Amino acid sequence: MLSPRVLRTLSEATYVFLVLITVVATGLSCAALLSQAVRTSPAQSWTNNFNTLMIGASYIVVFAVSLSFCIKRRVAVRLKLQRISKTYRTIGRDDLHDTVHKYVSQEFIRACLISYESLPKNVYHEGWGRPGTKYSGIQFRGALLDTIPHIDGLAHVVIPLHPKLKPHARMLHHFRFLNPLLSKDEDGISPLHYYDSAIQLARNSARVLTEEEFEIGMNAAYQIEKSLNDCRLEMLESDSATQLNDQSPK
């Protein structure tokens, strides 16, 4: 499929070619008629040859009329283009007839209704939150993996010497220094173990996360963040108390 620019170039080249052919053919016919008029005259010369005068005058008139039509057409097109406003202006109701405005409004409302009715409803994609739930529009894998940098940042606030995060490190190994800060459930398992399992599924599993697995991972991430925030607040309170004690008069 040719581009619009190539098509425009071909159109202009074809127009110029046809104009040249027309000019050449007209010139040749004029020359042939003038030559015949000279050969058929009694004196066989240009002087006092009425036929050559009529032929030449006819061609000149045809050329002048054709040129005037071309100029008139060009000027008319230029004037029409100049009447078109080059500034953006919103078309209001006063710019249209009532019937046109009513028709446009009806078509607009009809298009909006069709678009609304065409929206997918009750569509569920694996690995994404179901429409109408609190997880609607959330990709489970991406949302869960996005919690890693946030938890790592909090861990560095609480433990400044915490190791740097490696791309494929196990959460259970990377956050091992946080284990003493985390509470454990009745089975003796800390939120870090649940979080590590969910992250491993999100990273390496061939299938996508289910909503239940996503909830387990996000709940574990929330508990880890909550424990870190509590530790950070305790550190701030301890620093404030220490500063007050240092500033108090002895």
pLDDT at 248 over 60: no
* Residue-level pLDDT at 145: 93
How buried is 225 (Cβ within 10 angstroms: 0-12 exposed, 13-18 middle, 19+ buried)? middle
Q: How do residues 207-218 score in pLDDT, each as one tens digit?
A: 888 999 999 999
* Residue-level pLDDT at 221: 94
Averaged pLDDT, 2-11: 82
* Residue-level pLDDT at 185: 83
- Please report which confidence band the pLDDT of residue 135 belongs to, taking 50, 70 and 90 as the band edges: confident
23-32, Cβ contacts within 8 angstroms, sequence gap of 24 or more: 26/59, 30/55, 30/56, 30/59
pLDDT at 243 over 80: no
- Please report which confidence band the pLDDT of residue 111 belongs to, taking 50, 70 and 90 as the band edges: very high
Instruction: For residues 1 and 7, give the distance between their C-alpha atoms in angstroms, rounded to a whole number.
Output: 10
Q: Which of residues 144 and 48 earns the better pLDDT score?
A: 144
